Amino acid sequence: MQLCPSYFGDFDPSEKVTKVCNTDGQWFRHPDSDRTWSNYTLCTAYTQNKLKLALSLYYMAIVGHTLSVIGCKVLATLMIYILASIYFWMLCEGIYLHTLIIVAVFVGEQHLGWYYLLGWGFPLVPTVTYAIARSLYFDDK
């Protein structure tokens, strides 16, 4: 064991480098490269912490130190709208398939505008209702 080299800026010079000597007196060889191998992983532990800190500081500089409550509420409401739209589009698919199989004999042309209205427009009703009720009665500023 010896100290990590100090001439690498990313290495922590207080950590140790290890090299294993086998029972036959030969240095350990890495199985992939078949070359003698020294373990420098402890030297870079400090570097990984510095990288995590740098990324966290960069994120805080871009996003800001304060929490955007309005943005969080908008994203939560958008998520509810998207989930409602998913279920209403499944309903639209079922109605469309039913129309193709059963009613298509009696109806000449399909009007897809009603499906768009049902799939994208109708989920706005419970979403807007939720947003209004949340802002009036459960506003946790």
Given a contact cutoff of 8 angstroms between Cβ atoms, the answer to whether 115 and 88 are in contact is: no
- Per-residue model confidence as pLDDT tens digits over 29-48: 888 888 887 777 777 766 66
Q: What is the pLDDT of residue 108?
A: 66
pTM score of the predicted model: 0.48
Q: What is the pLDDT of residue 141?
A: 63
- Per-residue model confidence as pLDDT tens digits over 76-107: 899 999 999 999 999 999 988 888 888 766 76
Neighbouring C-beta atoms of residue 19, cutoff 10 Å: 13
* Distance (Å) of CA 126 to CA 42, 113, 137: 55, 21, 16
Judged on CB neighbours under 10 Å (0-12, 13-18, 19+), 39 is: middle
